[in-house]
Structure 1
């Protein structure tokens, strides 16, 4: 297995020091099959013959005999951070955005031990699941129909006097029994079997083998047929919620669009669009920062339309070309601030398309404040906010950055400062 690590927008060679041509072709085929790949898979990887260039997806893409880890990077011009440091930073963002319930110390320690993000995810899943299974498997009452020697529950009269009419030694019984073969555990077992083929760690392989033995009573179901909608997390099973999120990541059910390539049974790809992850991370931190302010934080809301039938003397009611701002900050039903997150390097400037988009939001949502929010370059000092007015109006467009390499407390303070600048003056 040839493994390489690269940052988003970075290159990995195809030749003596990188992947072979056949390995590169296998990775490109996996990218083309991935639903995030876009046209010919070029939203994930681009083929330049002598090298492959990564795009703005992060995670791991794997194929037969090769795997490529793509790590996030705000500014390609600065010197690279250690991969373990970047993995820890990415794991922290995922932990906050998805709710994996990982402590800061645990994420840092695991990111330094793991050889790749995939190894990190599988190790975390195996450790967590083994710990929970040893505490005891959750069980639910399940309706059972069986032919027994002694009566249990109720007698199935119709079956008894048809199928067993000449077999008085058999009783057709209907009863409820506690069972571990429930949707939650079927998902856990499917994930164990799936990731067992992809870990390189012998210690993790031993844990997964023990899990296969402990889950022997649970039916084996293919990933495509798993009963995700039938899983119920209640007070008794709440401790399994973070494991369920990990299974969603590894089996392809999270919003980050993880994917097991159908054409490549030995491959696995766990990819995250950094724009979406940055938006979700900021939204969670902003919601925590404004918890006591009386303001509501709504993600991917609004859904107001740009165009509608025109009638002279009447305000137009939109019916087509819907809008979906990244984050709305509302007080009651009034939109006070619209934030649009951009996982880009602000030193390259603000694009005209982004400004036009914010002008449309100002008109449609009647919001007095609009914010384009970018990640700050790691290690940069100062968080300056540029303020601009929209022409022929009183709306204010702010261009700001927030640090993603600091502590959560510092980030929430920055966001609160951004929302209430006068209170922090």
Structure 2
């Protein structure tokens, strides 16, 4: 049995149990995961006997000071460091991880997980903002003052100052650093102080807490972030706020015990693979090629109720004779055929988008392309093949993200020839 030392690394679709296996959960950790799963469940894992089985989500689940890292794996090759770098490279490429620092090499820590990377990105962003100087904003305030400032609140003025005629209860605007943007960042900074596991960040977080103005507490909700409006002066705060949103909205404190708080920072690999393929094609495509993600067409309308739509992942040269439709799937076929549902789906896309070609895009050990034809559906000969083709593209995973993206682009460009 492998001793749990605060960091457990597994791959997607693996199982962690408390009763057997090289890597084991403690009974306490399993209990926290079961409680977090709740009655409605979570998409990150499913419960099994004496354990949990992870789904196609990757990232980090932190329980107290213990980190469970879930890495992607498209084939049987590569170790934990390789696939950790693959995940971080994909997140960087699609813009999920981005900072104001001149380059990513400016980061000082060796990221042991995506969570460690996010912690340092946030610290780096706050150091950047403090160096620039924190932005002041106007806010409405009221109170008893010795000078007349703003407008008098007559009801409260009479109530509180009947024997203090030298005072004025007024409403006025104050121009300072006490506003919601800073309150959110300050709350995130205090969260990091309590949950981070990297000792190298201790001094930097401590320095930030000393330099950052102490602010009021805010109740964290999606609405709080939605009502934040950035202007020219506050635009540099965008990345720090994005990381704050990610951390604060995915942090689940244990109000009963207080020592088994859960932070789940997980990414759907199917969605990440789709976005990664999209940005890779867009980055290296020809000027004549157009690209659209998640194009929608109406598909079916009932007599009553809402209509159904179809939405392929990627459409190239939409509405032209050279139209190509792609659908991405994060799984390794290992030489097998695509499942029937995917092939039927691509046939529908071909007809509704008038596509010249359609293809399913998978990760694999190396790059390959094979194709197959659909059978004719309006003929009496059940063995007659049509001219309608569906391609199957397998793209080898490469730790060099630029080379990997070029491989994706080259594989797709062959469909456009």
TM > 0.5 between the two? yes
Tell me, yes or no, if structure 1 residue 22 matches structure 2 residue 27.
yes
Query: Which residue matches 1:329?
Result: 316
TM-score under structure 1 normalisation? 0.80
1:373, distance to aligned residue in structure 2 (A): 0.8
Query: Which residue matches 2:382?
Result: none
Do 2:368 and 2:395's aligned partners in 1 also have CA atoms closer than 8 Å? no
Match of 1:302 among 287, 296, 299: 296
Compared with structure 1, are the counterparts of its residues 23 and 162 closer, same or farther at alpha carbon in structure 2 (3 Å cutoff)? closer
Query: Which residue matches 1:179?
Result: 176
Do 1:30 and 1:261's aligned partners in 2 also have CA atoms closer than 8 Å? no
Compared with structure 1, are the counterparts of its residues 345 and 27 closer, same or farther at alpha carbon in structure 2 (3 Å cutoff)? farther
Do 2:357 and 2:415's aligned partners in 1 also have CA atoms closer than 8 Å? no
Secondary structure, counterpart of 1:68 in structure 2: strand
Do 2:65 and 2:195's aligned partners in 1 also have CA atoms closer than 8 Å? no
Do 2:372 and 2:389's aligned partners in 1 also have CA atoms closer than 8 Å? yes
Query: Which residue matches 2:203?
Result: 206
Query: Which residue matches 1:351?
Result: 339
Query: Which residue matches 1:3?
Result: 7
Q: String of CA shifts for 1:289-341, please: whole Å, max 9, x gaps.
A: 34733513223x3052335459xxxxxxx953332322233446999222211
Match of 1:219 among 201, 216, 219: 216
TM-score under structure 2 normalisation? 0.81
Secondary structure, counterpart of 2:282 in structure 1: helix
State the distance in 2 between where 1:59 and 1:36 align.
18
Query: Which residue matches 2:118?
Result: 121
CA RMSD of aligned residues (A): 3.5
Query: Which residue matches 1:260?
Result: 252
Query: Which residue matches 2:145?
Result: 148
Secondary structure, counterpart of 1:114 in structure 2: coil
State the distance in 1 between where 2:213 and 2:96 align.
29
Secondary structure, counterpart of 1:74 in structure 2: coil
Tell me, yes or no, if structure 1 residue 278 matches structure 2 residue 291.
no
Number of residue pairs matched? 398
Do 1:33 and 1:261's aligned partners in 2 also have CA atoms closer than 8 Å? no
Compared with structure 1, are the counterparts of its residues 27 and 4 closer, same or farther at alpha carbon in structure 2 (3 Å cutoff)? farther
Do 1:13 and 1:19's aligned partners in 2 also have CA atoms closer than 8 Å? yes
Q: Which runs of 5+ in 2 are unaligned?
A: 377-385
State the distance in 1 between where 2:369 and 2:102 align.
29
1:275, distance to aligned residue in structure 2 (A): 0.8
State the distance in 2 between where 1:95 and 1:185 align.
26
Comparing 270-279 with 206-215, greater Cα deviation is found at 206-215
Secondary structure, counterpart of 1:385 in structure 2: strand
